Structure 1
Amino acid sequence: MSFTVLVPARLASTRLPRKPLADIAGVPMIVRVARRAAESSARAVVVAADHAEIVAACEAHGVRVVLTRADHVTGSDRLAEACEHLGLDGDDAVVNVQGDEPLIDPALVDACAALLEARSDCVMSTAAHAIDSRPDLDNPNVVKVVLDAAGRALYFSRAPIPWWRDGRAAGAGALQSPAPLRHIGLYGYRAGFLRRFPTLEPAPIEQTESLEQLRVLWHGERIAVHIAARAPGPGVDTPEDLERVRALFGR
């Protein structure tokens, strides 16, 4: 199994300004993410940055980085440009690790890459885990996914899917069985498809849910889903998230 990890990094962030450069125990967050991803079996880990400050931070810590345009609309657009810089195309495997996941499990990165390699019927792979609390199921910031019999994604939504018709009778905190699945924002791609993705027409369902992966399904392509045994470590979206992660690293 041979694959490259790409980590998109954008300096602007509405909820946490300059997030990629946020200090975690003396090291910028984007460097923490790259180091964690390097514990996987990836042949290379490359940050796709939109700003010279991110490039400088990565180079200062020995992290490979490419500078991409600052006007990309989505992370996938940024990764497509990074593939061009790196000469990746065709069946070259790429795993997208989000730049705000300093606690990403390297084994989960490997599992996502292995699933992509095993599923020639799918242009992408991703991951999910069982939801164990009703608040998570009801939270629109927790993305849910439903699968077909072959373990491919049927739909992603911010709504609680599948809808449990008899759930009210079971009580406010009850969950159906089998448990609904929470989507983990980790993606494997074949580089040829990743470079083609920005040329695809945005999907109405993508725009409604604000979920970029729905464009793939809307265009008739397939996404294989790995079911993880547990939830990944916490990501960083807000100042409160950052403090939580800093405490885990000892500041």
Structure 2
Amino acid sequence: MNSVAVIPVRFASTRFPGKPLAFLMGKPLVEHVYRRAQACKAVSRVIVATDDKRIFAAVQEFGGECMMTSLKHRTGSDRVGEVAGSIDADVIVNVQGDEPMIQPEVIGAVLEAMNTETPPAIVTAASPLSGPEEYNDPDVVKVVVDARGKALYFSRSSVPYRWTGGDAGLKHIGIYAYQKDALLDFVSLPMGRLERLEGLEQLRAIENGIGIEVVRVEGFAGIGIDSPDDLRKAERIMMEMAKVTGNTGVPGRGQA
């Protein structure tokens, strides 16, 4: 199974302009994501997809592979779809560009779920909510799954209605593995009503009857960067890791 990781990034973030090039522990955010995807042994190639020449230049500077894409894409998955249409791959992994601490093991777990005789169209990941603060935070996307581990719904709202801890709530992790054909079909669909309301591109699949399998992962799965405060939080976490393990978790060339 030839699996390629594509990292969609844009400079013009509404809440945090220039986010991919913001420095975290001495490296641009996009490099952290790139190195962690690169550290997953199941991934044969890593590509950054962007519409900004500054990001393109930064990726080249640290030795990564980058492709320029259209300025017109509505979502990260649409940007990933453009790259997918031009490369040889069986599976495309969309690794969110604002997840600098994504664990290579999480990427591997999502790809492992694809490695079956009848692979699902889309696989994503989730972990247990840490507590009421995450449950009530609209920046933390919640996912509700059925008894087979298929996604029923994703929301920024507090779902299910009453959080009781444990298995009651799951936090979505920003990663998707697509069968290549399924991704190309997905990006050809119009943006749906729920997708617009929630601001969540994965709801386009749900609205069109495309199943999403959810892999549950335990432990620390990473932290999404939506603001400068999140960046500072990530740096604090890395420094705490250094106190415990002697390793900040800053990826180097070919390791994470």
Q: TM-score, normalised by structure 2?
A: 0.87
Aligned to 1:190: 179
Match for residue 206 of structure 2 among 196, 211, 217? 217
Aligned to 2:73: 72
Aligned to 1:8: 8
**Other structure's SS at 1:140 match:** coil
Aligned to 1:32: 32
Task: Evaluate the alpha carbon distance shift between residue 12 and residue 119 of structure 1 in structure 2; reply closer, same or farther with a 3 A threshold.
Answer: farther
Task: Evaluate the alpha carbon distance shift between residue 238 and residue 77 of structure 1 in structure 2; reply closer, same or farther with a 3 A threshold.
Answer: same
Aligned to 1:101: 99
Map of 1:114-193 to 2, 5 A cutoff? Answer: 114-118=112-116, 120=118, 122-164=120-162, 175=164, 178-193=167-182
Q: Partner letter of residue 23 of structure 2? A: D
Deviation for aligned residue 1:97: 0.8
**Other structure's SS at 2:167 match:** coil
**Other structure's SS at 1:85 match:** coil
Task: Evaluate the alpha carbon distance shift between residue 222 and residue 62 of structure 1 in structure 2; reply closer, same or farther with a 3 A threshold.
Answer: same
Aligned to 2:44: 43
Deviation for aligned residue 1:235: 2.2
Unpaired runs of 5+ residues, structure 1, are 165-173
Paired positions, count: 239
Identity between Structure 1 and Structure 2 (%): 38
Task: Evaluate the alpha carbon distance shift between residue 28 and residue 204 of structure 1 in structure 2; reply closer, same or farther with a 3 A threshold.
Answer: same
Superposed CA offset, 1:92-114 (max 9, x none):
11111111111110000000111
Give the number of the structure whose alpha-carbon radius of gyration is greater.
Answer: 1
Say whether the 8 Å CA contact 1:130–1:182 is kept in structure 2. Answer: yes
Distance (Å, rounded) in 2 between the aligned partners of 1:10 and 1:23: 15
Task: Evaluate the alpha carbon distance shift between residue 241 and residue 176 of structure 1 in structure 2; reply closer, same or farther with a 3 A threshold.
Answer: closer
Say whether the 8 Å CA contact 2:113–2:119 is kept in structure 1. Answer: no
Aligned to 1:86: 87
Deviation for aligned residue 1:80: 0.7
Aligned to 1:228: 217
Deviation for aligned residue 1:223: 0.5
Q: Partner letter of residue 189 of structure 1? A: Y
Aligned to 1:171: none
**Other structure's SS at 1:6 match:** strand
Aligned to 1:58: 59
Distance (Å, rounded) in 2 between the aligned partners of 1:33 and 1:78: 17
Deviation for aligned residue 1:119: 7.4
Deviation for aligned residue 1:176: 5.0
Pair 1:207 & 2:208 matched? no
Deviation for aligned residue 1:78: 0.5
Unpaired runs of 5+ residues, structure 2, are 240-247, 251-256
Task: Evaluate the alpha carbon distance shift between residue 162 and residue 246 of structure 1 in structure 2; reply closer, same or farther with a 3 A threshold.
Answer: closer
Say whether the 8 Å CA contact 1:94–1:113 is kept in structure 2. Answer: no
Superposed CA offset, 1:89-137 (max 9, x none):
xxx1111111111111000000011112337362100011112311221
Deviation for aligned residue 1:219: 0.7
Match for residue 110 of structure 1 among 104, 108, 111? 108
Q: Partner letter of residue 171 of structure 2? A: R
Superposed CA offset, 1:34-63 (max 9, x none):
011111021011101111111111111110
Distance (Å, rounded) in 2 between the aligned partners of 1:86 and 1:94: 10
Aligned-residue CA RMSD (Å):
1.9
Map of 1:12-23 to 2, 5 A cutoff? Answer: 12-23=12-23
